[in-house]
Amino acid sequence: MKKSDSDPEAAVTEVFAEYSQYYDLLYADKDYDAEASYVARKLREQRPNIRRVIEFGSGTGRHGRLLAGLGLDVIGIERSPAMLSRSRNAGAGKGSVGVGSFTAVEGDIRARVVRGPFDAAVSLFHVVSYQTGNDDVAALFNNAARHIASGGIFLFDVWYAPAVLTLRPETRIKRVANDQMKITRIAEPRLLTHSNCVEVNYDVFVEESMTGRIRQFQEQHLMRYFTTPEIELLAKDSGFHISEAEEWLTGKPPSTSTWGICYVLQRNAS
What pLDDT is recorded for position 270?
A: 72
Residues 218 and 111 in one domain: no
What pLDDT is recorded for position 91?
A: 63
> Do residues 53 and 74 touch, judged by C-beta distance below 8 A?
yes
Which pLDDT tens digit goes with each residue over 14-60? Answer: 555 566 778 889 998 999 999 999 999 999 999 999 999 999 999 99
> Do residues 131 and 8 touch, judged by C-beta distance below 8 A?
yes
Residues 270, 265: Cα–Cα separation, whole Å: 15
Mean pLDDT of the chain: 91
Q: Indicate which CATH number applies to the domain containing 142.
A: 3.40.50.150
Antiparallel, parallel or unpaired: β 181-192 and 197-208: antiparallel
Which pLDDT tens digit goes with each residue over 68-103? Answer: 999 999 999 999 888 898 888 776 444 444 489 999
What pLDDT is recorded for position 9?
A: 53
The structural domain count of the chain equals 2
How many of the other CB atoms lie within 10 Å of CB of 169?
19
Q: Which domain holds residue 208?
A: 164-223
What pLDDT is recorded for position 16?
A: 53
DSSP, collapsed to helix, strand or coil, labels residue 229 as helix
Residues 128 and 19 in one domain: yes
What pLDDT is recorded for position 82?
A: 86
Name the DSSP class of 252: P
What pLDDT is recorded for position 17?
A: 56
Mean pLDDT value of segment 165-191: 97
What pLDDT is recorded for position 95?
A: 44
Q: Indicate which CATH number applies to the domain containing 204.
A: 2.20.130.10
Higher pLDDT, 89 or 224: 224
Q: Which helix (H) or strand (E) holds 65?
A: helix 62-69
Residues 111 and 173 in one domain: no
The CA-atom distances, in angstroms, between 11 and each of 89, 131, 215, 223 are: 24, 10, 22, 12
Q: Exposed, middle or buried, 67 (CB in 10 Å: 0-12/13-18/19+)?
A: buried
Which pLDDT tens digit goes with each residue over 145-154? Answer: 999 999 999 9
Residues 138 and 44 in one domain: yes
Which pLDDT tens digit goes with each residue over 121-157? Answer: 999 999 999 999 999 999 999 999 999 999 999 999 9
Residues 151 and 185 in one domain: no
Beta bridge partners of 206: 183, 215
Residues 90 and 131 in one domain: yes
What pLDDT is recorded for position 5?
A: 47
pTM for the model: 0.90
Which pLDDT tens digit goes with each residue over 3-16? Answer: 444 565 555 445 55
Beta bridge partners of 239: none
Residues 191 and 258 in one domain: no
Residues 113 and 197 in one domain: no
Residues 146 and 239 in one domain: yes
Residues 214 and 119 in one domain: no
> Do residues 20 and 80 touch, judged by C-beta distance below 8 A?
yes
Residues 134 and 156 in one domain: yes
Q: Exposed, middle or buried, 113 (CB in 10 Å: 0-12/13-18/19+)?
A: exposed
Residues 11 and 98 in one domain: yes
Antiparallel, parallel or unpaired: β 118-123 and 52-56: parallel
